[in-house]
Amino acid sequence: MASERLGEVISMKEEVIKKACSIAMKAHKLPEKQLYLVEKNRGSSDVIFSFPGSWTISDWFSRSPFGEKMIDPHPPQFASLRSIGNDQVATVNEAFLTRFQAILPQLQNEVVKAVAERKQIVFTGHSSAGPIAVLMTVWFLENWENFIKSDPSTSRMPPICVTFGSPLVGDFIINHALRRESWSHYFIHFVMRYDIVPRVLLAPLSSLEPELKTILDFLNPKCTIHIQEPTREASALYVTVMSNASSVASHAACHLMGNTNKLSDTLLSFIELSPYRPFGTYVFCTGDRELVVMKNPDAVLQILFYSSQLSSEVEGPEIALRSVKDHFNYQSELQNLETKGVAHFDNLEGLPLSSNVGAAGLGLVLNNLGLVSPFQDSFKICLSVLEVPLSVFFFLFFSPLD
């Protein structure tokens, strides 16, 4: 672990991150017919494109169980998002893809103009606008060489995608493709420790539809009616999502470890697992003075589950409601970004494998992320059930990708 400034770790200026977060929140207030927001200041080298979120279930799940769709290979919508070895195309969320396709024709001329002006292109989005920013960035990267060929004087700066509380977008092939193209580091995702939205697509629609509808109404910045705090719905949604996240995380850990435990295969015969997986760089906001940066998508998937666990049943309703409210706390969390410490986990060196890690340094960071005692005891129990040694599991978490 190394403690550095966030901008140094992710190669993005802190002021640009805060500006992107502010604009991402501002985009939620756009009129219905305005599909995107462009922010460019005189004298600035950055142009930020942001998108409004959607708060209807049909814009999150096009169908049951998970609303996914394979990218059309004829002609390819995203030629890069495929596994070359077995010629398999990526799967993405259909509702997000449909919104992207509706916005692109209006946006692309603005992007081409900004490139011609030699600007740094930043795509950003909060909540369900995050996936739109992701897909716009992939589109840009696939057309980047064409921009340069058409006008050699245009900007050669790659785009940046930064999301806040974004749900997952697609399957493991996206991560595979972005790493193959050396594009993965252009995608940066901020996630509050308890925010339920980045985890919600790990659960099938049928298991959460009534509760999700209420929660989306509660979160909708344009909602004109007063909605009481949805304590009951938040609790039900939290339990459902984390239960499904547990299944996905456990199966992924077994698969990565080459585990032969029959439990994993039996699980698949009873439960249909979500196809969605993380990619890019994740910045976990602990709610304290530390940020945790992780670039290993397999580790990120486990953190999305383990970091949101309860210390006791008593705190269940409180954490469940916080998992909803934290979804709009990114701007306040990142307000003093320059003063926050950054824990960047690269390897196993110095990582404690016992719960006696002390009250400062690495131990404090892991504790703030929910990965140290008292939760670590249940962490060990889970691993023992799966027959995965703790040391091996931590190797998965903190070993380099390459």
Element (H, E) at 256: helix 231-256
Annotation says 195 is catalytic: yes
Closest CA relative to residue 329, chosen from 184, 127, 88:
127
Cα–Cα distance measured from residue 208 to residue 198, given in angstroms and rounded to the nearest whole number: 15
pLDDT for 3 equals: 57
Q: Is 158 exposed, middle or buried (0-12, 13-18, 19+ CB in 10 A)?
A: middle
Q: Which of 51-55, 125-129, 215-219, 259-263 has the lowest mean pLDDT?
A: 259-263
8 A C-beta contact, residue 261 and residue 250:
no
Residue 88 has which token pair?
Answer: 């398999």
Counted residue by residue, the chain has a size of 402
Confidence of residue 198 (pLDDT cuts 50, 70, 90): very high
Cα–Cα distance measured from residue 72 to residue 78, given in angstroms and rounded to the nearest whole number: 8
* pLDDT of residue 68 exceeding 70: yes
Annotation says 274 is catalytic: no
Q: What does DSSP assign to residue 273? A: P
Most confident of 155-164, 218-227, 320-329: 320-329
Residues of the chain by 3-state class (helix, strand, coil), percent to 5: 50, 15, 35
pLDDT for 354 equals: 44
List, for residues 130-156, the tens digit of each pLDDT value.
Answer: 999 999 999 999 988 777 766 766 667
Cα–Cα distance measured from residue 187 to residue 163, given in angstroms and rounded to the nearest whole number: 8
List, for residues 76-125, the tens digit of each pLDDT value.
Answer: 779 999 999 888 999 999 999 999 999 999 999 999 899 888 899 999 99
Mean pLDDT of 248-266: 73
- What global pTM score does this model have? 0.89
* pLDDT of residue 348 exceeding 60: no
Closest CA relative to residue 302, chosen from 377, 345, 246, 370:
246
Residue 122 has which token pair?
Answer: 């930043």
- Domains annotated for the chain, with CATH where assigned, are 6-386 (3.40.50)
Cα–Cα distance measured from residue 358 to residue 343, given in angstroms and rounded to the nearest whole number: 16
Going by DSSP bridges, is the β-strand pair 88-89/82-83 parallel, antiparallel, or unpaired?
antiparallel
Confidence of residue 234 (pLDDT cuts 50, 70, 90): very high
Q: Which residue has the tokens 């998002």?
A: 81
8 A C-beta contact, residue 327 and residue 18:
no
Choosing from 22, 54, 62, 127, the catalytic residue is 127
Cα–Cα distance measured from residue 49 to residue 203, given in angstroms and rounded to the nearest whole number: 30
Mean pLDDT of 153-167: 88
Closest CA relative to residue 390, chosen from 374, 376, 400:
376
pLDDT for 145 equals: 77
Q: How many CB atoms lie within 10 A of CB 236?
A: 19
Choosing from 195, 235, 247, 264, the catalytic residue is 195
* pLDDT of residue 219 exceeding 50: yes
Closest CA relative to residue 103, chosen from 144, 60, 139, 152:
139
Q: How far is CA 102 from CA 37, 209, 283, in A?
A: 15, 25, 29
**pLDDT: which is higher, 357 or 168:** 168
List, for residues 2-22, the tens digit of each pLDDT value.
Answer: 457 899 999 999 999 999 999
CB-side neighbour CA atoms (13 Å) of 390: 15
CA dihedral 212, 213, 217, 219 (to 10 degrees): 20
